[in-house]
């Protein structure tokens, strides 16, 4: 992922190539964007969670377990809360566990 400096240099290069009037997507500060997603405030907080799994197998498994939890819980709000709690307890409750788990996966 490019740094702000890298993006600045790329934009300067584009300007030198005569593309100063072309439309571009705005640069996004990754940590700031992540913090804003977590905060999720404003007049219309988001409710849709989009996640590119990177593989067909991971996509299938995530849907399998999501569907299973939602089927068991019947109430979608309770099911979503259960999925969040499961992630929280397994991964984010203890940073040391997460780091160890990631080390094992490599």
Q: What is the share, in percent, of the chain residues with pLDDT greater than 90?
A: 56
Q: Which phi and psi (to 5°) does residue 70 adopt? A: -65, -35
Q: What is the share, in percent, of the chain residues with pLDDT greater than 70?
A: 96
Domain ranges of the chain: 1-47, 49-106
Cα angle 50, 56, 57; round to 5: 110
Tens of pLDDT along 57-86?
999 999 999 999 999 998 999 999 999 998
On the 0-12 / 13-18 / 19+ scale of CB atoms within 10 A, 67 is exposed
Tell me the chain's radius of gyration from C-alpha atoms.
20
Q: What is the pTM of this model?
A: 0.58
Q: How many CB atoms are closer than 10 A to CB 36?
A: 13
Tens of pLDDT along 91-102?
766 777 777 877
């Amino acid at each position: 992922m490019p740094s702000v400096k890298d993006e600045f240099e790329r934009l300067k290069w584009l300007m030198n190539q005569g593309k100063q009037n072309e439309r571009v997507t705005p640069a996004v500060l990754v940590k700031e964007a992540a913090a804003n997603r977590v905060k999720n405030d404003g007049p219309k907080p988001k409710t849709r969670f989009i996640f590119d799994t990177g593989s067909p197998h991971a996509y299938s498994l995530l849907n399998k377990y999501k569907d299973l939890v939602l089927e068991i819980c019947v109430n979608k709000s309770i099911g979503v809360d259960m999925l969040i709690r499961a992630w929280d307890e397994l991964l984010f409750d203890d940073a040391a566990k997460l780091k160890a788990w990631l080390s094992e996966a490599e």
